[in-house]
Amino acid sequence: YRQFHQIGVEAIGSDRPTVDAEVIDLLWALMVEEFRIPDLQLRLNSIGDAACRPTIRDRLSCYMADRSSELCPDCRGRLIRNPLRIMDCKQAGCQHLVAQAPKPLESLCEACAAHFAEVRGLLDLLKIPYIIDERLVRGLEYYTKTAFEIINPRLGAQNALAGGGRYDGLIESMGGPATPAMGFAIGLERVIASLPPIQEEAALRGVYVATIGQEAQRAGMGLLQELRRRGIRGLMDLEARSLKGQMRQANKERVRYCLIVGDDELRRGQAMLRDMVKADQAAVALDRIVECLMGLEGV
């Protein structure tokens, strides 16, 4: 037993390939642009409809019936109940047979083939890359035409993050009026397992005013106030830490610049401005310091 959560989209009422393309585009944009999951694959197939599914199924079961001794025990059962499901069996022996078996796409009726061609053309137009995967099938009768999955190849065996397609037969099979529909479901837990790490720490920003001596600390407070009033992120030591302690604090606060004011510099009307990224420093005139900082990157 495994608890899981899904987000789904259902577009009910149209059998047009434009709907298939729009629904896939919505999912692809969500996964690639919003969630920013790398290396995803869109796998695409068509599994036909009530008109051509019997042919698809018959051709596959004839082929497999002649070779049933090579099938795994599960697939021998599927051969009777649901031969299409042999297509996605993971057993090596069955996969070997499936590789040579008649594929659903070869037996599509004219309407299904045209629908699939149009879906593919629209995905090309929308620049959504896809891989035709003829092993992508559905076990239930009400699924029709387009079937697709989004795969994260990095996840191992359980790598489908989302799956969907048409189910033009569902509403009718539940006793409703014949109503085409198209949708998908996203498996949230697998999406969360695929999310890229939160982007690296924010860039260094702002100014730390480090002071040496009481006079310098008073002057520093004045500077700090002016910086903050100009919208600059400004910090300083309000205790009486050593210069080393202040520099440590500046590093911890991830500031871009340190303005070092000592009593001696103060008398000369200067301060040292240290760029924490470039690790260089220069003397700057105190009466020009704010103006100078305003022009710098990372302030």
Interface residues with Zn ion (CB under 5 A) are 48-49, 51-52, 72, 75, 89, 91, 94, 109, 112
Query: Given the complex with Zn ion, which of 132 and 285 has the nearer CB atom?
Result: 132
Rounded distance between C-alpha atoms, residue 10 and residue 5, angstroms: 16
Smallest separation, CB 10 to Zn ion (Å): 22
Smallest separation, CB 54 to Zn ion (Å): 10
Rounded distance between C-alpha atoms, residue 36 and residue 9, angstroms: 20
Rounded distance between C-alpha atoms, residue 106 and residue 148, angstroms: 18
Query: Given the complex with Zn ion, which of 72 and 292 has the nearer CB atom?
Result: 72
Write phi, then psi, for 21 (nearest 5 degrees). Answer: -65, -40
Smallest separation, CB 117 to Zn ion (Å): 13
Query: Given the complex with Zn ion, which of 97 and 255 has the nearer CB atom?
Result: 97
Smallest separation, CB 170 to Zn ion (Å): 16
**DSSP alpha helix (H) spans, 30-148:** 53-65, 73-81, 92-100, 110-125
**Coil, helix or strand at residue 44:** strand
Rounded distance between C-alpha atoms, residue 38 and residue 203, angstroms: 23
Query: Given the complex with Zn ion, which of 98 and 255 has the nearer CB atom?
Result: 98
List all residues 6 or more positions away from 234 whose beta carbon is below 8 Å from its beta carbon.
206, 207, 208, 209, 223, 224, 227, 228
Query: Given the complex with Zn ion, which of 48 and 83 has the nearer CB atom?
Result: 48
Query: Given the complex with Zn ion, which of 104 and 262 has the nearer CB atom?
Result: 104
Helices (H) and strands (E) in the chain, counts: 11, 11
Q: CA torsion 95→98→99→101, rounded to 10°?
A: 170
Smallest separation, CB 15 to Zn ion (Å): 12
Smallest separation, CB 72 to Zn ion (Å): 3
**Could you tell me which of 163, 206, 139 has the C-alpha nearest to residue 44?**
163
